[in-house]
A and B are shown apart, each in its own frame.
Chain A
């Protein structure tokens, strides 16, 4: 297919289109051509499922007039006999930037961050551009069209690939002979959106994916409000968004996590995005299927790694190796699960890779009818253009392919691609097939001549008796040129040439090695027989099984709830019973059902816990693992964003945290802003998707932050308010006051009698103020990053002014200085055990902080804010015994019951009590001993981590990697392109990560 480009010839004028009939003509006479073209005796795929054997396709003026078995051919028809050939609708790619120039990157903004929009009269955010129209930038790209046509495409849909809301696309027929008056099928086909901000603007918001989801939500709220006529001002973006409302909405999500993320945003506003995926959808196919969304799927499969250097190979992760192995199965998996999708050339390095990658997808199990539909009827349907494109029904554009046979067979030749009735020759189908066996006689010496390979580019083999003779054959424009070296050794050749005629034999002139001219003949003895296509004989490739998540330590099947009876354990109840020796605990249906001695339960898995300790699971009040982003740093308040949007269930640190006995955590927004984002409270159910991890009916939390991070002390940034602790207070005063007014406005509006309400303009919904109002209404709790005593005191005073309490101060390293005030206010403290000396504001951080606060009556927890430390919070709790002499039972509560209380989850978690969730850890030793190992970590009664299992999985990982490495070496030996091995870059996220 690659080489076909070379053979590409454009032929004009066979059934030329007319210039617009009302245009004047000064270079000749006006002509009209209403002739028909009839393509007869072909196997016609009217649609992927409606197939006519020996049918006729009748076209006129660029459109299909009829397709069927018995079509009356009008007299003014040009008839083309396509006996033995197949006719398919040309392909459609609805996700391209064909002919549309990408915007240029905005020049660097220097040190000062740009917070405001660059435009006037449009939405407040530059990355929202529904008013953009691809048609206004469209310029037909003949070069690109040539490549697309050669790959079988007849129609493409193009948009400006920039920004979050990108405006409308243009649907273009690849009619290189015609002009835009014919090619443009629709100048407002669909509205496009994406997860990426515009490169053309430096406006800082949004810096994160959760900022993007929040921005979209606010936009849709604003549009509704604007539509109702509530706005006093003009917003051209929103007006365009409203005008585009009824169009198909195509969202470039680019990977399974974003697919799910943005599908959910769309659902909230009753918008069914057509989602452009990223090729990894197979890894979470159940969730993808449950979106019921329609997809556009790229075919850019990852290259094999060059793993011939064992050391280099050792750095490649199992996940990356699997991606190479499994990605080609993505379309097949989607199809098998009933997900409707179109295919796109987007993301491919070269359009000419399209066919080979498509063939690979088929080799990996994609059904051919589905593949054809994904290139024809499905994309047409997505755009509501099923009567015009994607099929060969009456009235549709005459966009079709003529092939030598089954289009999904590797031996098949694509001859012609007709677009709007214009023929594009890819491979000349008039070329006579000269392949076969011949007897060649030269100077009475007999040779066996074999011509084989492709019709248009045959190869040759000459033998004399047993001996093979070096030879070469070219076949162009109806002439054959044949060279061979009769002696084998010396550089001397016999050169033969012949014109190909209707006669099967080859006759021509030749020059011998001595320069004498002769006549020669090759008599055909046997015709060439095409071997069956590749796909029929190939074994389908071996696939690594998909695990949850699809990487090392992933589960083949998700852990199930079990009835478990722990016998004879030392049980740390965190309740009045204290630490019970030789006790039993029964777990059933995900709950703790009995705690006592001599328990028994039929059918229970009995775990002998003699000499071991059983505790409730560790809860980390402050974590940033499993987050696709941590800070939305584009504004100084980001209350509108939520970490629930960005929970990343594939983060290996989830499993590593399970290995340290952590069962639940608060994933907090970072500390870039005084008012941060909303939290996600999760259980570490490794293997589940993000929705499955987020705790049902989670109490609502939001991150606040104080001190050096929010005033941007430790990096060069000088133009954002606040730059001092004084300013931090004023940010809070401002937002709380506005939220209060906002809340009152809504309450008043909602209290209006129905009739008055209908006449009254509604307040604008503001996601940010709405969230802050929840704090004022005591529906949402603050966990505030804090260091020095002045700011801690300040936030409590601000809260008291607005009549609410600060729920938790996190870090709170100088909490010990104001512990009495915290206790009086009712704020909890969630602190590090012994971190200090990393910033100026932690100079007075002391490891006795927890003990002092605890003794002063503050509810204290020990947290991590660190993906490594969270794996050993049991040890961090133990440090409070050393520093300040906290009792063992109280110290243990610092990482279990107390964080549960701070998170308002203590009705379900935090202690071993009948009726609570069975979130348990079995320890080899005293849980706060340095020698303790978490042997089993259980969540909701299912075993998510087992120390012994983990070691066994190591062995499985080793074996699977070895197998995949061998497969890659094999692939490289076969000549496939490879790439350098790569080591997964670790992302480490803390409070101040962006």
Chain B
């Protein structure tokens, strides 16, 4: 009976915690704020020591040194001497807010059925109140691209910030681009149908690429015509041809990357972004020449091939940056949502393997914003941009010193409490009483 009781109690706690409300979104910025004395990491590679960063009505109004700033122009000053200030970090290609708990199917909204479904939009399923979302902020991760998964053309992504009542509030840029999983030239047979279970050159690769080409050509023809009756999938890719939307191609292999680049060129698609790019370094010249940017997979992954350099995932940023490719970080893979809060440390890992620390910051700020097409709004500490930024006790790329004391999203000072900090405090208190 005692055990049953324990289980019952355990269940109660679990249920109880499920209904605990998420952090309440902050009020709009009501007074101008000047943050003084911090080391400012602008996001474009530059650093301002002893800086002054001011913002009002949600926008950055001043970026300079402490000595240049006029405190009289601001209602409130925050002394941040010894601290570091960063533009809010941006996670690329996440399923943030689309799934709450991996193993619970009922909470899973990241993958719709269908092979070519660009009209399916992630933004409307984004759960602004997800407990996973709020857990990003204490680490300085304040924005993410929310992208659907599955199929050949998975759907349309949007970019959100992490302090919102609902998805409309959250959106920074709606329908920023289309996500496509490029066919793989290697495939595994379905062993249960008696096919070769090994990973061997795919017989279907050419056909699968052809399907993609044909879809795009048909869409283009449709868009040139009367567009009647309406065709939702074709309509959804309109932005690819007029340059208002990115095409995010999820692809890793050298050959497939080249095929994807040629495909976009031949079909008049204006902005190609490679997502993944495990072998992008082998074709970096082509990517640089065609101004194709790459969001490389977070480095906390194993090399794809047994013989690869043991450190390949860590070396990739340097290999591409050295060739002049614009590089960001994407979150594909296991537990991408929960792991997004480690984004600063992914960037830091790249710094351990050959790139500068400010370059590392750039990967998840300015570069991410440029790649996603939101660099006019966020990505650097610059006048006129959103006051989406945070203060850390030390180097935010290192877990020992990534201690966030303040975070602002569009000028609103957001809570750094989470479901997890509440539990921490509750139990730390319980034991400290003894």
Contact = CB atoms under 8 A, between A and B. Distances in A.
B6 A882 contact: no
A789 interface: yes
Interface stretch (A59-67, A315-323, A672-680, A734-742): A315-323
B102 A837 contact: yes
Interface in B342-359: 342, 345, 348-349, 351-353
B427 A314 contact: no
Nearest to B105: A714
Contact of A852 (B131, B337, B427): B427
A868 B298 CA distance: 12
A847 B427 CA distance: 13
Nearest to A884: B424
Interface in B210-263: 253-255
Given A317-B307, A843-B17, A797 B428 contact: no
Query: Interface extent on A, as a size class?
Result: 35 or more
A183 interface: no
Contacts of B268: none
A817 B426 CA distance: 9
A944 B118 CA distance: 50
A961 interface: yes
B307 A932 contact: no
Contact of B427 (A726, A817, A837, A869): A817
A659 B314 CA distance: 12
Nearest to B428: A852
A553 interface: yes
B193 interface: no
Contacts of B102: 837-839
A656 interface: yes
Contacts of A793: 6
A725 interface: yes
A840 B101 contact: yes
B113 interface: no
Interface in B1-38: 2-4, 6-7, 9-11, 13-14, 17-18
A794 B103 CA distance: 24
Contact of A797 (B2, B9, B103, B188): B2
Residue with the greatest number of chain A CB neighbours at <10 A, chosen from B7, B132, B427: B427
Contacts of A309: 201
Contact of B428 (A312, A855, A925): A855
Contacts of B17: 843-844
A149 interface: no
A319 B427 contact: no
A848 B351 contact: no
B14 A844 contact: yes
Interface string A838-858: 111001101110001001100
A835 B338 CA distance: 7
Nearest to A925: B352
Given A848-B424, A855-B431, A882-B399, A950 B310 contact: yes
A312 B201 contact: yes
A970 B67 CA distance: 72
B101 A839 contact: yes
B259 to A, nearest CB: 11
Nearest to A957: B307
A819 B431 contact: yes
A834 B300 CA distance: 14
A677 B433 CA distance: 40
A829 interface: no
Interface stretch (A397-405, A769-777, A873-881): A873-881
A797 B4 CA distance: 13
A931 B3 contact: no
B311 interface: yes
A878 B424 contact: no
B198 interface: yes
A878 B307 contact: no
Contact of A933 (B303, B307, B353): B353
A317 B306 CA distance: 7
B434 to A, nearest CB: 7
B190 interface: no
A317 B310 contact: no
A837 B6 contact: no
B305 A983 contact: yes
B310 A655 contact: yes
A725 B102 CA distance: 21
B302 A656 contact: yes
A311 B255 contact: yes
Interface in A695-726: 708, 713-714, 725-726
A930 B131 CA distance: 26
Query: Interface extent on B, as a size class?
Result: 35 or more
Nearest to B199: A983
A311 B300 contact: no
A153 B17 CA distance: 74
A197 interface: no
Interface string A472-483: 000000000000
Nearest to B4: A726
A982 B6 contact: no
A974 interface: no
Contacts of A869: 300
A845 B201 CA distance: 42
A816 interface: yes
Given A319-B306, A553-B310, A855-B428, A844 B423 contact: yes
Contacts of B306: 317-319, 551-552, 652, 984
B47 interface: no
B200 interface: yes
Interface string B46-57: 000000000000
Contact of B186 (A315, A817, A879): A315
B400 A843 contact: no
Contacts of A957: 307
A985 interface: yes
Nearest to A876: B399
A881 B345 CA distance: 14
B399 A881 contact: yes
A980 B400 contact: no
B104 A982 contact: no
A990 B186 CA distance: 25
B428 A843 contact: no
A788 interface: yes
B400 A834 contact: no
A988 to B, nearest CB: 9
B39 to A, nearest CB: 17
Contacts of B311: 659, 950
B397 interface: yes
Interface string B162-174: 0000000000000
Nearest to B393: A882
Nearest to B346: A930
Interface in A488-546: none
Contact of B3 (A726, A872, A986): A726
Given A317-B307, A714-B103, A840-B101, A875 B13 contact: no
A610 interface: no
A790 B13 CA distance: 10
A484 B425 CA distance: 100
Contacts of A951: 309
B124 interface: no
Contact of A837 (B14, B18, B132): B132
Residue with the greatest number of chain B CB neighbours at <10 A, chosen from A309, A652, A867, A985: A652
A950 B423 CA distance: 44
A314 B279 CA distance: 11
Given A846-B420, A848-B428, A984-B306, 18 more contacts: A311-B185, A317-B306, A553-B310, A656-B302, A713-B103, A725-B7, A790-B3, A790-B7, A797-B3, A816-B427, A840-B101, A844-B17, A869-B300, A879-B399, A888-B400, A931-B398, A933-B352, A933-B353
14 contacts: A315-B186, A319-B306, A789-B6, A794-B6, A820-B434, A839-B103, A840-B103, A843-B131, A846-B420, A848-B428, A855-B431, A888-B400, A931-B348, A981-B200
Leading 5 A-B pairs by shortest Cβ distance: A790-B10, A930-B348, A848-B424, A983-B199, A846-B420
